[in-house]
Amino acid sequence: MALYSRSGRPRPQSGGFELAAWYYMRVSGVALFVLALTHFSVMHFLFDPAQEKSGFISARWDDLAIRSFDWLFLIVVLSHAFLGIRTVTMDYLQGGRRTLALMVLSILGLVVFVLGTLVVMTANIQPV
């Protein structure tokens, strides 16, 4: 059996984290498609930011549901991206270099998650 097929990475034969990550990458990919289309539709079809003069962005971010949507979008993007980079790291690095790369990746992922959460939840945007 080939190590890789045309349809992407094969499903891991062992269970545990690797199988859960394999399923998560597929589910989060579909979720990213839906979230990105929703975000793009709201920002560019329902409201054209170039035409808005009344502080659309500040009014939009005053709503907790919008901030929650943006935070969910951020979390799905970050987790999908960092899990993908982890998969590539696991495929191409061995030994101490792999351990170091995964530690740096984990720390970087945590820092970006915390900073992104702080920005989404505490940003105070003033209308221009």
Angstrom CA distances, 26 to 74, 103, 113, 127, stand at 17, 24, 21, 39
Type of residue numbered 28: S
C-alpha span between 83 and 46 (Å, rounded): 33
Average pLDDT of 24-37? 94
Q: Measured in whole angstroms, how far is the alpha carbon of residue 119 from the centre of its chain?
A: 15
Q: Are 32 and 75 in contact (CB under 8 A)?
A: no
- pLDDT bucket at 53, cuts 50 / 70 / 90: low
**Model pTM?**
0.79
Average pLDDT of 21-37? 93
Domains defined along the chain, listed by start: 19-122 (1.20.1300.10)
Give residue 74's pLDDT. 93
User: Which residue in 14, 124, 120 sits closest to 68, CA to CA?
Assistant: 120
